[in-house]
Amino acid sequence: MSDPEKNKRLFGTNGIRGIPNEELTPEFCLLVGKAIGTFFNGKIVVGSDNRLSGDMIINAVNSGILSTGSETVMIGVLPTPGIQYYCKKHNLPGVMITASHNPPQFNGIKCIDSDGTELERSKEEKIEGIYYSNKYRTARWDSIGRSILDNSGFDLYLNGIMNMIDVKKIRERKFRVAVDTGNGAAYLTTPELLSRLGATAVTLNANPDGLFTSRESEPKPANLKYLIDLVKSGGFDFGIAHDGDADRAVFIDSSGNFIDGDKTLTLFVKHYIRKGERVVTPISSSDALEEVCSKAGANVVRTRVGAPIVSRTMIQEKARLGGEENGGIIYGDHQYCRDGAMSLGIVMDILSKEKKNLKELIESLPQFFITRKTIPARSDFSILSEMLKKEYPGWEVSTMDGIKLRNGNDWILARPSGTEPIIRLFTHSQKRERSEELSSKVEQLVMSV
């Protein structure tokens, strides 16, 4: 990226991603910072997760921003939604240095708008245009920007979450929670939130480790064995795990069962939805949402995959509730972005008002199953699309995002990743075995190309 081809897109679905000192060189990050400072032209919030390369990238981006005459507010290591909340409350744009759930060798640069949402594509294109045209603002020596430090973001973020839930009822329940922060950015915020909510927290991996040596950052069942075993040992109301920048949360019920993020989203919608409202979610989420919303007199609006797309659509549709099937809940009354700690507060809020435990609440939802796989992208995606159409003739086809084929309650979604050279595969059915069967069959097709 330090010598990119002309007009190559820099920002993917969740910011710029790459390997530091390979794609993300200091020189490249400096120029991106200059483009960001030129575009925003004012005070800019800067924060990060705790990856090892964070200091190098922050310093390079910050130097570029300051060179344009823009000022920066350095708020340190926080979950991405914590920085977004700071931006929203102070009406300031921001830059988050993170690669979210990607492996530790990656890092990234994500821009945040002054309302706390991830920057929309049209604004990213303007930053890219500044970068490629080299039309940076360059301040005189006496007008170069300054950096200030502000450590108030931690309390601001936690207080914002607590204002959205019934703290009194939650404290009365005296929850016992097993929490795995995955050595990531929530290593302080989530245990502290649990403490303030009167819960007993037993923590795993609640130390900042930019190498993610304890487990991979993606909070999927294969990476959460120790958390699942801990919850199974007994005495916990539930377990929770985050990804690297803690904009997502997944849960483990008191019996040690991993709860699919899709089911957590459905539970959230079921308990928070109001008649006549709209719920926004990507085409990768299960059909359970339609059933829940139909019973409540509400509607579902489907989008392409990507949290920024869901957030923007929620704002356009004036929707309070939305999210993704990967554990990313978006509660518009709080802020229009995925928020892992807010998801924790929501689950505790629901449990404090119900007589059922988390397992019983999940089992009371419409039962659909999604199998997810990531497959190396071995050829042009259009080849796979044509193969799927031939393999499943008569199935309804949608090309909103990748290709989705539907036959009743069975569907297949294949889409190229916006952050990695892989294909993301989703298969859906009312029976787990059928979902897994579809997944295996499509995987074989992909690998045969």
pLDDT in tens, 246-277: 999 999 999 999 999 999 999 999 999 999 99
pLDDT in tens, 27-83: 999 999 999 999 999 999 999 999 999 999 999 999 999 999 999 999 999 999 999
What positions carry a catalytic annotation?
100
Options 3.40.120.10, 3.40.47.10, 3.20.20.70, 3.40.50.720; CATH of 16-151: 3.40.120.10
Listed residue (202, 195, 187) closest to 167, CA to CA: 195
Where do the structural domains in the chain lie, given as residue ranges?
Answer: 16-151, 156-363, 369-448
Phi-psi region of 366 (alpha: psi -120 to 50; beta: other; left: phi over 0): beta
Average pLDDT over residues 86-101: 97
pLDDT at 112 over 90: yes
Give the position of tokens 């995002």: 401
Write 382-390 long-range contacts (CB < 8 A, 24+).
Answer: 383/449, 384/414, 384/423, 384/445, 384/446, 384/449, 385/414, 387/445, 387/449, 388/412, 388/414, 388/442, 388/445
CA distances (Å), origin 2, targets 64, 107, 345, 392: 14, 15, 42, 44
Asked if 156-363 and 369-448 have one fold, the answer is no
Which three-class secondary structure string do you get for 173-216?
HCCEEEEECCCCCCCCHHHHHHHHCCCEEEEECCCCCCCCCCCC
Model confidence at 105, in pLDDT bands (50, 70, 90)? very high
What is the pLDDT, as a whole number, of residue 82?
98
What is the pLDDT, as a whole number, of residue 376?
87
Backbone angles phi, psi at 146, to 5 degrees: -120, 155
pLDDT at 3 over 80: no
**What residue type is 156 in one-letter code?**
L
pLDDT in tens, 382-394: 888 999 999 999 9
Q: Which fold would CATH assign to domain 369-448?
A: TATA-Binding Protein (3.30.310)
- With a pLDDT cut of 90, the percent of the chain lying above it is 90
Alpha-carbon 107 to chain mean position:
15
CA gap 376, 79 in Å, rounded: 29
pLDDT in tens, 317-370: 999 999 999 889 999 999 999 999 999 999 999 999 998 999 999 999 999 999
- Domain 156-363 belongs to what architecture? 3-Layer(aba) Sandwich (3.40)
